[in-house]
Structure 1
Amino acid sequence: MSEPLLYHSTRGVTSGARIDEVIAAGLAPDGGLYVPEALPRLDLAAFDPHGSLADTASCLLMPFFAGHALADELPAICAEAFTFNAPLRPLPHHPGASMLELFHGPSAAFKDFGARFLASCFRRLHRKDPRPLTILVATSGDTGAAVAAAFHRQPGVQVVILYPDGLVSPRQAHQLGCFGENVQALRVSGRFDDCQRMVKAALNDAALQAQRPLSSANSISLGRLLPQMAYYAHAALRWHHEHHRPLNFIVPTGNLGNALACLWVREMGLPVGQVELTCNANETLSDYFAGAPYTPRAAVATLANAMDVGAPSNFERLRWTFPHDADLRRQVHAHSVDDATIRDTVLFHAADHHEVFCPHTATAMHRLDQLKGAQDAWTVVATAHPAKFESVIEPLLGRPVPVPSALAAMLNRSAQAEPLEASDEALKRWLLDSGESIEARRAS
């Protein structure tokens, strides 16, 4: 039997960690992101071509968990997390092209898959270590609701969500504040990059961690990123079984977690072909892939707000995967799509094809429209349901967008969020003060 896979930091200081430690910690102690010592290579024959998404996930992820505490429970974890489908459906107006729909979960966004997997892992880790844990989440719109839905009422876990005040859609903001109980939403007077910086600072604060143990459920957490590989693997394996060729993907991206999941599936030997990334008017990635030095910058607000990221955290993992710039630029291409083009794309497909897409998916549809006529099998990744972005989509269409039942249930609850200034110290004070309140309630 081979040795269990261990994990180290992208910054090279922390090494030799187990997968349960990695999931529990979220961020490495040196401030880097956890990665495996090496990506495992997989055999197509190991997968059941007729298996469920949960079956694919369990087979795909077992090399990452084998020999560790959660390995025996991985099939059950996947069965709990992957209870809804990620259908791959043809796009009739683009012969040979398809759409991977990732918005059929509780919060109507792709983040549901990883958040539910992570929550299922934490339930089992909590049995081994019953100390209370606080999950910190920085969200540009979708991550927070998925994490809140996954962890709501889970014993031993408090969830604290930071989002940029006024820079998420009204329905996204409502989702973030509608849970209560063990879930608290904080509306930060800044941008997503501020929220992300504040979360990383708290996770790296050893004194704070000693008083209030913290972890993360952003895609900086490997426990969030790994399960996102499952829907790419499942779609690619099904496609390969039926068509005997790889499947190409166009992935909308902001913080690079969803894109990296797709690329890792390809690096592990599964039949993923070309990968193209689409961004909004935040051009950090598109400029880099066009040949400019990687230059993080302040995010700008766009219609595709969940991708409003100027300093994508997972770029560290991308560089670990492809250490040389020239090789990375050969492996991946990225394209920026401005707000005017997002509007035009939504309107065009609604009028001509009776298809309605969220602003993020529209960036990928625009790229597919540019590739029309290409003989390759392209799949657009649909990251969220358009009803989450009613303030953008409905004025364009001049009509309401039907709301999925799970989203409607969230919108029927009351919602509230607490204001917070965009500083590391403000979050630290809030965590310490609220931690004292929790302890007082437990003692009474």
Structure 2
Amino acid sequence: MSTIVVIGAGQAGSSLAAGLRKLGHEGPVILIGEEPVLPYQRPPLSKKYLLGEMELERLYLRPESFYAENDIALRLGARVEAIDPAAQTLALGGETLRFDQLALTTGSVPRRLPASIGGRLEGVHEVRGLADVDAMAPEFTEGAHVLIVGGGYIGLEAAAVAASKGLKVTLVEMAERILQRVAAPETSDYFRDLHRRHGVEILEGTGLERLTGETRVTGAVLSNGRELAVDFAVVGVGIQPSTALAEAAGLEIENGIRVDAFGRTSHPAIWAAGDCASFPHGGARLRLESVPNAIDMAECVAGNMLGAGEPYVPKPWFWSDQYDVKLQIAGLNTGYDRVVTRRAAGEGPVSFWYFAGERLLAVDAMNDPRAYMVGKRLIEGGMTADPAQVADPGADLRALLKAAAR
């Protein structure tokens, strides 16, 4: 029987292995993960888990019994040293495993600060895996001063947790504004104001010159010459696809592991899905860093490994929790030329709708699940919305769907 090996036991890897069994694959399925714990969900790590509101067991994607019941062989705490595509084997801790098909779901890794500016000092933390968060959690003590480096969603979520736990928080962002790479100025303004209301000091257009300290971080020198005394630092300066294993095996790399529309790499027996994979989309190539993409793409690839022949069509959506605000994002805002604001009276829900000409591209909805759901249905259906109706708080959002469907 055909043996399928999955390297990477995160959201994509777990979903792909489960998808193979659900679709009827009867041969061996081996799921390999470097971390010594069951596959778990990552988004709560920088939110509820760090806040102490979620226990470890609740992070697990599936109980251990699921893998046994579905005859999925878990190889946890195991690192694949090399892949030999020609022989269709991989080296794993002195052992050689043969595969008929291989799926790479290796995810992504955080960008680290260079050692030359203090990035390897004790007390400098990245937010990616369970071990990272477990290591930093004891630092979050009331009154401590934390420096957050990076004003993307990871940095802002860490800042929200720290402020909620009574820490003094300083966040530095080298770009002109927080969220500049991923959101419109309107969304940046919303979250800047939210954090400042919670006491977070946000310094935009300000880089980190260096961290100071002998063996442990004790301070920071900023690009504007300002010096800070800090107790620890959290670095959230982005992530990059984990491609080293694939690259060493000679697979094509293009902003991630390059796959075709079906998830197949440049080797016919090797596939990839999730954060690590870039796929064709709209005449270009796209790589998405999100849980929904990891699940959907993994399930699609599982089917294609078994002969389904279905191209992957992404339906992008994302979310972030900060304080009592839930941000939900539908679509991709790349190429927008205007943003329409829909705001309830007072401090109620607000949403920002991205348009390119008359075409609706994306929606950022803050505590506004209805705007998010309507926007998502419009975008996924290839429909648009009347900007004037969007901007009118008295207009029924459901009418947008009816009008667009006509």
Determine which structure has more spread, i.e. the larger CA radius of gyration: 2
Structure whose residues are more often helix by fraction:
1
Bucket of the pairwise TM-score, normalised by the shorter protein: 0.3 to 0.5
TM-score norm. by structure 2 comes to: 0.33
With the length of structure 1 as denominator, give the TM-score of the two structures. Answer: 0.31
> When you count strand as a share of all residues, which structure comes out higher?
2
Q: Which has the higher contact order (CA 8 A, sep 6+)?
A: 1
